[in-house]
Structure 1
Amino acid sequence: MSEKKTRMPADERRELILDAATAVFGDAGYYGATTDAVARAAGVSQPYVVRMFGTKEQLFLDVLGRGLERIFAAFREAIAGDPQVPLERRLGLAYFELTADRGILLCLMHAFALGADPVIGPAARCGFLDVYRLLRDEAGMTPEQANGFLAGGMLANVVLGVRMFDDFETDPDVRELMTSVFPEKLDLVRASHPPVRTGAPPRA
Structure 2
Amino acid sequence: MGATEGRLSSEDRREQILAAATAVFGERGYAGGTTDAIAREAGISQAYVVRMFGSKEQLFLEVARRAVGRLEAEFRAVISQFSGEETMLERQSALGRAYGELVADRGILLSLLHLFGLGHDPVFGPEARDSFLGVYRLVREEAGFSPEDATDFFARGMLNTILLAMRMPDRKEDPMAFELLSTSMGPQCEAILALYEDAPARA
Q: TM-score, structure 1 length as denominator? A: 0.90
Q: Which residue of 1 aligns with 2:196?
A: 193
Amino-acid identity (%): 52
Post-superposition CA distance 1:14-52 (Å, at most 9, x none): 000000000111011111110000000000100100000
Paired letter, 1:152: R
Checking the alignment, whether the CA contact within 8 Å between 1:27 and 1:103 is kept in structure 2 is: yes
Post-superposition CA distance 1:157-200 (Å, at most 9, x none): 0000000011112x22111111111221222111122299xxxx
The 1:10/1:132 distance shift into structure 2, 3 A limit, reads same
Post-superposition CA distance 1:60-99 (Å, at most 9, x none): 0000001111111111111111435522122111111101
* Offset at residue 7 of structure 1 (A): 2.3
1:138 equivalent to 2:142? Answer yes
Q: Which residue of 1 aligns with 2:19?
A: 19
**Residues 50-199 of structure 1 mapped to structure 2, 5 A cutoff:** 50-83=50-83, 85=86, 86-169=90-173, 171-194=174-197
Partner Cα separation in structure 2 for residue 185 and residue 114 of structure 1: 30
Structure 2 unmatched runs, 5+: none
* Offset at residue 146 of structure 1 (A): 1.0
Paired letter, 1:182: M
Paired letter, 1:164: M
Question: Runs of 4+ in structure 1 displaced over 3 angstroms?
Answer: none
Checking the alignment, whether the CA contact within 8 Å between 1:105 and 1:161 is kept in structure 2 is: yes
Paired letter, 1:186: C
Partner Cα separation in structure 2 for residue 52 and residue 72 of structure 1: 25
Paired letter, 1:203: R
Q: Which residue of 2 aligns with 1:199?
A: none
| Root mean square deviation of aligned Cα | 1.9
Partner Cα separation in structure 1 for residue 61 and residue 132 of structure 2: 14
Partner Cα separation in structure 1 for residue 181 and residue 77 of structure 2: 26
Paired letter, 2:163: V
1:37 equivalent to 2:40? Answer no
**How many residue pairs align between the two structures?**
194
Partner Cα separation in structure 2 for residue 161 and residue 6 of structure 1: 36
Checking the alignment, whether the CA contact within 8 Å between 2:29 and 2:114 is kept in structure 1 is: yes
